[in-house]
A and B are shown apart, each in its own frame.
Chain A
Amino acid sequence: MPRQDITFTVNRRTVSVTVDPAAPLLDVLRGPLGLTGAKQGCDYEGECGACTVLLDGQPVRACLTPAGKVAGREVLTVEGLAAADALYPLQAAFIAHGAVQCGFCTPAMLLSAKALLDRVPDPTPDQVIEALDGQLCRCTGYAKIVAAVQSAAATLRGEVAPAAPATAAPVIGGSALRVDSVAKVTGAAQYVEDMRVPGLLHVQVLRSPHHHARLLALDAAAARRVPGVVAVLAAEDIPGENGLGDYSEDEPLLAPVGATLRMVGAPIALVVAETPAAAAEGVAAIDVRYDILPHAFEVADALAPGAPHIAGDGNVLSAEQLQMGDLPAALAAAEVSLAREYRTAYLEHSALERETVLGYPDDAGRLTIIGGTHEPYYQQKYIAGALALPLEQIRVILPPTGGSFGGKQDPWPFVATALAVLRTGRPARLMFTRRESFAASPKRHPYVVHNRIAATRAGRLLALRAEIDANTGAYDSGGKYIPNYAIIASGGPYRWPAVDLSARTVYTNGPKAGQYRGYGTAQAAFATECLLDELAQALDMDPLALRRANALLDGETTWLGYSTGESLGFVEVLAAVEPHYRALLADAAAFNEAAGPVRRGVGLAGMWYRFGKSGSLRIEAHAELTRDGQFTIYCTAPDYGQGTNTAMAQMAAETLGVPRAHVAVVNADTGRAPDSGIQGASRATYFVGGAVVSAATNLRAVLLGIAAELLDAAPDTLMLQAGRVTSPTTHAEVTLAEVAAEFDRIGHARRVRGVFDLSDRFPAETRPTYLPLFVTGAHVAEVETDLRTGEVRVLRMIAAHDVGRVINRPDAEGQIEGAVLMGVGAALLEEVLPGHTTGLADYYLPTARSMPQIDVLLVEVAGRHGPFGVKGLGEAAMLPAVPAIINATSRAIGRRLRAIPATPERVLAAIRSDAA
């Protein structure tokens, strides 16, 4: 390949590289120059913006800029932003404002903002939005990023001092600096795709191009002859179980010859090679033959007589029903009854970091696997099962992770990478393309919901019947638990005298569906909350009054037959949104008086979300006094951007009584930290936090006991502070390093265990499989719709959530703002169409311009069991946004919308339909 010498300036330094001049600048920066702050989020299509750098001061996509074009010019990457001794004001402001979550989009955001501020020192919010538009962020909802840019602009104009987060002020509940954000704003954070390993092999995957086919033959001989190909691995190369354990009970790791491939993207073989190009050539060289079978994408087609057999008994994976009260009697007594059908779409998480896993045999001969996941101990178990290795031969480590939202719970990339490492004995990395991520990673289950609601004329709810069909796609991938989640969410925090709720998961040949923020619940809540709005309209009743009149109260026996295990703050949540709701209603009414082609509407939705999941209720974490008198927490609460690293350190510091900076966290490393249970269902802060607090409490007690001996004082008279223990009475003190030495001298372990145990709190009869832990929230949306085109714009969102107790305010707000924008996407934009959707070019994520003004209301109704009164949040915030937006749109157009996404086409069709 002809290469050319190219000399240019990067970060004020002149560099010369010898490269293919048509290669993207991104590859030159990340490769020979080692500047990995520029990220790759799409397939060199300019669709994600994560690679944006400044070329002669202007933002450009490094993936679309040929290297030859930068000769003699100046490139600035995120690594060149900070001075030697100080962060650039934008970097400081991003940290202070909580604008950094997973951090994957952060470098590009910072550079785009810098180019704006260099040109426009005092930008309006709209100018900031315009400058950041098209730099995709999936975590933050953009709000805090815009705020950070405006704050930095004021600093750069010399009007205010550089942003400094209040790290000292209350450890809990304040606005704490994240423990990992400096690395993320400087480009120093090493995500898996950034890691450099000598002798690294590259893994690529042969996948089925057919929706449904039988694998007839596989011949890899030609692929093995491709120069650079080290191994081609197929089903027969798997030493243990060819599967993904209990995560997905019917999904092979690699389909054996003779098996049925149930979706496009189903994996068949791995090619492991010295270069990505050789791996790709190897994949193309595999001779494979298929017998193409008929396929079905929709639940109705998969259940129809004569439907192709996909899996299970009649293509049904699982089903569940819950009946309480006398439904027929309630329906008979109803003065008003509505029956409606609601539909939702396949959604793709679209975390900015694609699925990327790195493995290597470590010095101790263990297989070490590094990758973003919710459950490192689960990955360890799945790898052990497939590779027929003992658990202790496998170590799984969570690196900085560029978002997940449930998508990185799929163990497939971990097990596949481990197989490549095992079979080659060399380090190997598997990095999905964005297109692979769309084809092969789990999606959100599309639902078809038939709901029937009954009430009195005065607005007392009498009954809810729900029949829910969830499309689980080609494989189980956790779909078997979906019916329970769907049922529980569909009833919501309301007083139903009678319910009959049933759900089932159905196989199709669409993409496999799995965990997605709010696992199985958001689609059901969407249907119920929209139907409640329809009921309010039918009764000519205020929708907030309808919900309040029927809201479950704390301590009340619910339609589940028992009361909730955590305090229920739904009434408080509704009270919080009410004044905002009334104000928006007035605004919309005033706007609509003009009777023009653009109309506004306001919608409300509530919800409850069961957090905490099933599994063990005994959660373990460790706290250690280090030799130098500081603290280390060991736990497994994976941080893929939501901020658990910081929350764990905060809670430990608060418990110990020391500054947060004195607490380090070793999180999510099976080689160093204990298993803190399954991760998901918004349980980390509550459960793992509880174990961390327990460990810190235990350590503090032991520590004070030992210090008491040294100081000859009673333990309960002593004060533990930064670096020392003092006696306020005698003024004697001892340093923590001295206390640590005393631990060692007397042979007491400096690492102490803590356990958070709810086993005896909820007797089994009140806990049918799952914990009765619920949080509630309510959102209000104001939208603007163009009656001529059906285009919808969300103007305002009010998002109220009962969080129990705020641990870190910007992080709590950031979870909600991010969920609101994800809700905007789900309500209006996003849909994976099997057979059509390929990647970010045709899956429409919200950009900065899609962002409404978001007001977050954090309601603190203290919890009963969790540390400091916290409750779960991250997924709960996902539930009410979509129905609020759809209800608002329905009100604006005077027609009911019952399918999402409410594309302009669907909205216009509704506008032009006769039915109200």
Chain B
Amino acid sequence: MTTYVTPASVEAALALLDEHRGRARIIAGGTDLLPDMRSGKRTPACLVDITGIPGLREIRVAAGHVEVGACVTFAELRDHPFIRQHIHALAEAAASVGVAAIQNAATWAGNLVQAMPAADGAIVALALEAEARIVDLSGETWQPVASLFAGPGRSTVDPTRQLITHIRFPRPAAAWGTAWQRAGRRPSLILPTINCAARLILAADGGIAAATIALGPVAATPFRAARAEAFLHAARPAPATWAEAARLAQEEAQPRSNPLRASRAYRSAIIPALVESALATAYGRATEKESPC
């Protein structure tokens, strides 16, 4: 049914997609796509494997941002020395995706295009305020990752004519820290009951300059707790502050019940504990070192 091609450049990949007019599809790790093909949810005539394209496998740490190629696997993110040491939430989120044998194949970019409301890669990308470079025949654009989700399992990126080539996120000049929290029915190889990523950027006076809190699965798409974030802006770092932000995040989150995983009530009940831990940890990391840069 399916042909398999390994183009050597992004241009060649786009040309192949164009040639098949919607019947070809980008594949990176394939760990989500193969089950989708087996179940008949996807029936591509051609798989365009981009993992051999030079340059898409790199993690570049630049002065103001970090750029991650579309074919970087979760294992590579998890094990990258700079990310391990400075972008804790990303390293920990990467280590949360399935298990090692999945992380060795699955990619961050693929995880974003899969667009599940609790995708670990998507939740951490929101907290990092990441952007994705999307390329098609009409050109390239950098778009906020937050704008890529159209609904559960629906991405605005169309892998039959577009691909993400890179993901990048800023490295603030001020002191900052990130944290990752995840609850599930067992320690690993499990979809999250709730996952949460947080980032705190501190002002020169030690107050909070900016905060992000991302949560899943609490909405149809990966979710930013905007009211909690707004509350934290210019707030004093303190346990009571984390608790109040966590309460606000709980209020604005709208999780759903799943008989096999958790009820809405339970998911909602544990959000404060996860958000509070994430904020306290992120703050600790922001203050324990001068700057992650």
Contact in complex: B100, A45 (CB < 8 Å)? no
Select from chain A the residue with minimum beta-carbon distance to B44.
Answer: A22
Q: CB-defined interface of A705-721 with B at 8 Å, one 1/0 digit per residue? A: 00000000000000000
CB distance from A22 to the nearest CB of B (A): 4
B204 contacts chain A at the CB level, 8 A cutoff: no
Q: CB-defined interface of A66-95 with B at 8 Å, one 1/0 digit per residue? A: 111101000000000000000000000000
A61 contacts chain B at the CB level, 8 A cutoff: yes
Which listed residue (A22, A134, A829, A837) contacts B98, Cβ 8 A?
A134
5 additional A-B residue pairs with CB within 8 Å, beyond A69-B27, A135-B101: A21-B2, A68-B6, A69-B49, A844-B190, A908-B266
Binds A, one of B86-94, B142-150, B222-230, B256-264: B256-264
- Supposing A833-B260, A904-B266 touch, asked if A59 and B104 sit within 8 A by C-beta, the answer is yes
* Interface residue count on the A side (C-beta < 8 Å): 56
Contact in complex: B186, A4 (CB < 8 Å)? no
Contacts of A1 in B (CB 8 A): 1
Q: Decide if the interface of chain A is mainly helix, strand, loop or mixed.
A: loop
B193 contacts chain A at the CB level, 8 A cutoff: yes
CB distance from A115 to the nearest CB of B (A): 8
Which listed residue (A2, A68, A134, A904) contacts B99, Cβ 8 A?
A134
CB distance from B39 to the nearest CB of A (A): 10
Contact in complex: B35, A44 (CB < 8 Å)? yes
Contact in complex: B187, A849 (CB < 8 Å)? yes
Question: In the complex, A130 Cα to B4 Cα: how many Å?
Answer: 33
Question: In the complex, A45 Cα to B190 Cα: how many Å?
Answer: 12
Contact in complex: B260, A837 (CB < 8 Å)? yes
With a 10 A CB-CB cut-off, give which of A44, A46, A850, A912 has the most chain B CB atoms.
A46
Tell me which residues from 1 to 50 in chain B have a Cβ below 8 Å from any Cβ of chain A: 1-4, 6, 27, 30-31, 34-35, 37-38, 47, 49
Question: In the complex, A437 Cα to B27 Cα: how many Å?
Answer: 31
Contact in complex: A46, B102 (CB < 8 Å)? yes
CB distance from B232 to the nearest CB of A (A): 20
Tell me which residues from 24 to 47 in chain A have a Cβ below 8 Å from any Cβ of chain B: 24, 43-47
Contacts of B102 in A (CB 8 A): 46, 61, 64, 134
Contact in complex: A46, B1 (CB < 8 Å)? no
CB distance from A299 to the nearest CB of B (A): 19
B141 contacts chain A at the CB level, 8 A cutoff: no
Contact in complex: A134, B2 (CB < 8 Å)? no
- Supposing A850-B186, A904-B185, A905-B262 touch, asked if A68 and B47 sit within 8 A by C-beta, the answer is yes
Which listed residue (A44, A134, A791) contacts B188, Cβ 8 A?
A134
Chain B residues close to A by CB (< 8 Å): 1-4, 6, 27, 30-31, 34-35, 37-38, 47, 49, 51, 75, 98-102, 104-105, 183, 185-190, 193, 259-263, 266, 269-270, 272-274
Select from chain B the residue with minimum beta-carbon distance to A22.
Answer: B2
- Supposing A52-B101, A58-B104, A833-B259 touch, asked if A24 and B186 sit within 8 A by C-beta, the answer is no
Which listed residue (B2, B105, B270) contacts A61, Cβ 8 A?
B105
Select from chain A the residue with minimum beta-carbon distance to B1.
Answer: A1
Which listed residue (B1, B188, B269) contacts A2, Cβ 8 A?
B1
Contacts of B259 in A (CB 8 A): 833, 836
Closest 7 A/B residue pairs (Cβ): A134-B99, A68-B4, A21-B4, A788-B273, A22-B2, A849-B187, A905-B266
A490 contacts chain B at the CB level, 8 A cutoff: no
- Supposing A842-B260, A905-B263 touch, asked if A112 and B34 sit within 8 A by C-beta, the answer is no
- Supposing A788-B273, A904-B183, A908-B266 touch, asked if A2 and B2 sit within 8 A by C-beta, the answer is yes
A49 contacts chain B at the CB level, 8 A cutoff: yes
Q: CB-defined interface of A172-190 with B at 8 Å, one 1/0 digit per residue? A: 0000000000000000000
Contacts of A130 in B (CB 8 A): 100
A903 contacts chain B at the CB level, 8 A cutoff: yes
Contact in complex: A59, B1 (CB < 8 Å)? no
Question: In the complex, A130 Cα to B1 Cα: how many Å?
Answer: 38
- What are 5 inter-chain pairs, A to B, with CB distance below 8 A? A21-B47, A24-B34, A58-B75, A133-B189, A842-B261
Which listed residue (A22, A112, A829, A849) contacts B37, Cβ 8 A?
A22
A131 contacts chain B at the CB level, 8 A cutoff: yes
Contact in complex: A133, B100 (CB < 8 Å)? yes
- Supposing A21-B2, A112-B100, A904-B185 touch, asked if A60 and B262 sit within 8 A by C-beta, the answer is no
Question: In the complex, A837 Cα to B261 Cα: how many Å?
Answer: 10
Question: In the complex, A133 Cα to B47 Cα: how many Å?
Answer: 30
CB distance from B269 to the nearest CB of A (A): 6
Question: In the complex, A863 Cα to B56 Cα: how many Å?
Answer: 67
CB distance from A23 to the nearest CB of B (A): 9
Contacts of B266 in A (CB 8 A): 790, 904-905, 908-909
Q: CB-defined interface of A691-713 with B at 8 Å, one 1/0 digit per residue? A: 00000000000000000000000
Which listed residue (A55, A68, A786, A829) contacts B185, Cβ 8 A?
A829
Contact in complex: A68, B49 (CB < 8 Å)? yes
A505 contacts chain B at the CB level, 8 A cutoff: no
Contact in complex: A847, B189 (CB < 8 Å)? yes
With a 10 A CB-CB cut-off, give which of A844, A850, A909 has the most chain B CB atoms.
A844
Which listed residue (A44, A59, A66) contacts B4, Cβ 8 A?
A66
Select from chain A the residue with minimum beta-carbon distance to B79.
Answer: A119
CB distance from B132 to the nearest CB of A (A): 23
Contacts of A122 in B (CB 8 A): none
Select from chain A the residue with minimum beta-carbon distance to B28.
Answer: A69
Question: In the complex, A60 Cα to B102 Cα: how many Å?
Answer: 6
